[in-house]
């Protein structure tokens, strides 16, 4: 959807004034380079100028939570407005229900316009390319997992950048690439997107994607079958070593599989020594996979390791919008907010919630109202979005200290231990970067990493800590 066009139209209809609308449009264009993409496209592009009185812009948004989210960017917004006005001005941003209704109507119209035509030559070319890939026996990729439909947020920015670099120049840098993170965060999507990009842009390269469980089964099958086992094993090895790009998904399942680890080691050596690209995904770091031999661990770690964390609220909204726009479905702003607030852990459950409401609405012929979606998903609205401040306050309340204590240089056990838990909780619940947590707590980035890993490790053995963290998390839900 061309959001810039639709929102510009909404501004013209809603404000009825050209001057301050144009000034806001110019300021918004300036903000494009200073505000993160996930915040800019999810929240700022929908903001409209309602009026300008006494050197103050009155801005409106169709998103209920945009006011709180954009609060951290007040300085940048004010500076952009002052620059385009050539003088000192101020602004105020508020949610507006009437504008929300008009915004949703325009979204619906734009979605209908943007539905691709079957006669679209670009689409036809892509379909032919996809069909060509499907006919190649060595390709084992899902056609929906491409870079074009991967929504990038703060939780995935680094992983996405490295993955695209690998796709553009395989085996030239970042080899091997090791992508890790919990289930449902997009590891397989990024890995297969690398494969698709290479097949489409470098069709002479041989790409092989395999799940670790399938690899293990093939090893077992090659050993157990009767006949010439040596010949069978040689054929099996060539299948994975006679490629230019090997994509191995969910390597954690290799745990305790000694023969498979031996095969993986020699396959890795063969490919890497011959300048071939290797991409691996896992739900944990190599050092956290039990029984993994040091010779494999060090090889997995010799390239670059990038992490995917749970998507933050803004990215969850962007993911839902991307799905709706692709399907040409109009979803009200408050419904986006409701789903994003109730499905926080991973992309997979977020997509599951979207698929459920869209399927039910199609079957019932119903509008996707907030009440209808609540009923279908059996969920409710939360009073306020979870923030670093609310998490820190919950930890402070539990341990009978203050948030100010966390921000202070105090190092006593009474303060430092709960502070470690604040870092862990923010990382787990919001998927925030260590840099942003460090900025919030006024501490060094390396200290935040230490705090997170300390609590993560202690949770494995300390029942008291487990109980405390569970109670804090429950209080925040």
Measuring CA to CA, how many Å separate 465 from each of 368, 396, 399, 400, 420? 42, 15, 12, 16, 11
pLDDT for the residue 342: 84
**Is residue 383 one of the residues assigned to a domain?**
no
Same domain for 70 and 200, yes or no, is no
pLDDT for the residue 227: 64
Same domain for 336 and 417, yes or no, is no
**Is residue 444 one of the residues assigned to a domain?**
yes
Pairing of strands 48-53, 56-61: antiparallel
Half-sphere exposure (Cβ direction) of 33: Cα atoms closer than 13 Å: 6
pLDDT for the residue 345: 78
Measuring CA to CA, how many Å separate 197 from each of 123, 194, 241, 414? 16, 5, 21, 52
Q: Which long-range contacts link 291-296 to residues 24+ away (Cβ below 8 Å)?
A: 291/255, 291/256, 292/254, 292/255, 292/261, 293/261, 293/265, 295/265, 296/261, 296/264, 296/265, 296/268
Omega of the bond leading into 201 within 30 degrees of 0 (cis): no
Q: How many CB atoms lie within 10 A of CB 242?
A: 13
Q: How many residues does the chain have?
A: 477
Domain of residue 335 covers 313-377
CATH number at residue 109: 3.30.300.180
- The whole-angstrom separation of Cα 89 and Cα 251 is 55
The pair of structure tokens assigned to 67 is 């006011």
Start-to-end CA distance of the chain, whole Å, equals 34
pLDDT for the residue 336: 85
- The whole-angstrom separation of Cα 328 and Cα 330 is 7
Same domain for 22 and 159, yes or no, is no
Same domain for 327 and 456, yes or no, is no
Same domain for 56 and 9, yes or no, is yes
Same domain for 155 and 177, yes or no, is yes
Residue at a domain's end among 260, 286, 307:
307
Measuring CA to CA, how many Å separate 60 from each of 339, 434, 439? 22, 32, 29
Same domain for 456 and 410, yes or no, is yes
Same domain for 420 and 364, yes or no, is no
Q: Strand, coil or helix: what is 256?
A: coil
pLDDT for the residue 138: 54
Same domain for 264 and 334, yes or no, is no
CB 178 within 8 A of CB 158: no
**Is residue 411 one of the residues assigned to a domain?**
yes
CB 191 within 8 A of CB 247: yes
- The whole-angstrom separation of Cα 108 and Cα 469 is 43
CB 394 within 8 A of CB 309: no
Residue at a domain's end among 272, 287, 307:
307
Per the DSSP assignment, residues forming a β-bridge with 304 are 177
**Is residue 349 one of the residues assigned to a domain?**
yes
CATH number at residue 409: 1.10.1750.10
Same domain for 332 and 471, yes or no, is no
Same domain for 164 and 269, yes or no, is yes
Residue at a domain's end among 47, 81, 114:
114
Same domain for 36 and 83, yes or no, is yes
Return per-residue pLDDT of the chain as tens, 477 residues: 333 333 333 333 443 444 788 899 999 989 988 887 767 877 788 899 988 888 899 999 887 667 777 887 889 999 999 999 989 999 999 888 788 878 877 766 665 555 444 445 555 455 545 544 543 545 678 888 899 888 888 788 889 999 999 999 999 989 999 999 888 899 999 999 999 999 988 889 999 999 999 999 988 888 876 667 788 888 888 889 999 999 999 999 998 888 899 999 999 999 999 999 999 999 889 988 888 999 999 999 999 999 998 888 878 888 898 888 888 888 888 788 888 888 887 888 899 999 999 888 888 888 888 888 888 888 765 445 678 888 999 999 889 899 998 998 888 889 999 999 999 999 888 777 777 888 889 888 778 888 998 999 899 888 889 888 988 988 786
**Is residue 382 one of the residues assigned to a domain?**
no
CATH number at residue 360: 1.10.8.60
């Amino acid at each position: 959807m061309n959001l810039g066009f639709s929102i510009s139209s909404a501004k013209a209809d809603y404000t009825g004034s050209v001057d301050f609308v144009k000034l806001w449009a110019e300021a918004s264009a300036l903000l494009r380079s200073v505000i993160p993409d996930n915040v800019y496209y999810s929240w700022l592009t929908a903001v409209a100028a309602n009026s300008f009185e006494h050197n103050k812009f009155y801005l409106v948004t169709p998103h209920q939570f945009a006011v709180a989210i954009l609060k951290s960017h007040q300085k940048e917004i004010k500076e952009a407005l002052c620059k385009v006005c050539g003088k000192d001005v101020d602004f105020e941003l508020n949610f507006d229900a009437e504008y929300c209704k008009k915004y949703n109507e325009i979204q619906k119209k734009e979605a209908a316009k943007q539905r691709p035509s079957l006669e679209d030559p670009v689409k036809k070319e892509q379909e032919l390319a996809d069909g060509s890939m499907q006919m190649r026996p060595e390709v084992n990729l899902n056609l929906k997992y491409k870079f074009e439909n991967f929504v990038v947020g703060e939780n995935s920015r680094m992983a996405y950048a490295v993955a695209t670099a690998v796709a553009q120049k395989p085996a030239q840098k970042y080899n091997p690439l090791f992508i890790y993170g919990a289930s449902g965060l997009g590891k397989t999507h990024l890995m297969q997107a690398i494969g698709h990009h290479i097949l489409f842009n470098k069709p002479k390269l041989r790409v092989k994607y395999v799940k670790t469980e399938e690899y293990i089964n093939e090893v077992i099958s090659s050993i157990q079958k009767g006949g010439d086992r040596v010949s069978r094993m040689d054929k099996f090895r060539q299948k994975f070593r006679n490629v230019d790009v090997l994509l191995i998904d969910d390597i954690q399942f290799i745990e305790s599989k000694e023969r498979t680890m031996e095969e993986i080691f020699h396959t890795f050596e063969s490919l890497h020594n011959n300048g071939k690209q290797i991409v691996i995904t896992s739900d944990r770091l190599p050092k956290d996979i039990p029984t993994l031999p040091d010779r494999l661990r060090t090889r997995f770690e010799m390239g670059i390791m990038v992490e995917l964390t749970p998507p933050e609220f803004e990215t969850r909204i962007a993911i839902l919008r991307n799905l709706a726009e692709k399907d040409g479905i109009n979803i009200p702003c408050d419904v986006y907010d409701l789903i994003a607030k109730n499905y926080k852990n991973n992309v997979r459950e977020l997509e599951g919630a979207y698929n459920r409401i869209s399927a039910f609405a199609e079957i019932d012929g119903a509008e996707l109202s907030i009440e209808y979606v609540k009923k279908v998903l059996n969920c409710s609205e939360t009073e306020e979005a979870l923030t670093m401040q609310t998490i820190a306050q919950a930890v402070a309340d539990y341990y009978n200290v203050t948030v100010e204590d966390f921000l202070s240089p105090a190092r006593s056990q009474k303060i430092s231990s709960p502070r470690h838990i604040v870092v862990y909780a923010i990382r787990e619940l919001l998927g925030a970067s260590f840099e942003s947590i460090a900025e919030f707590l006024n501490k060094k980035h390396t200290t935040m990493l230490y705090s997170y890993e300390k609590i993560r490790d202690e949770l494995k053995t300390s029942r008291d800590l487990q109980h405390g963290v569970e109670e804090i998390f429950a209080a925040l839900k």
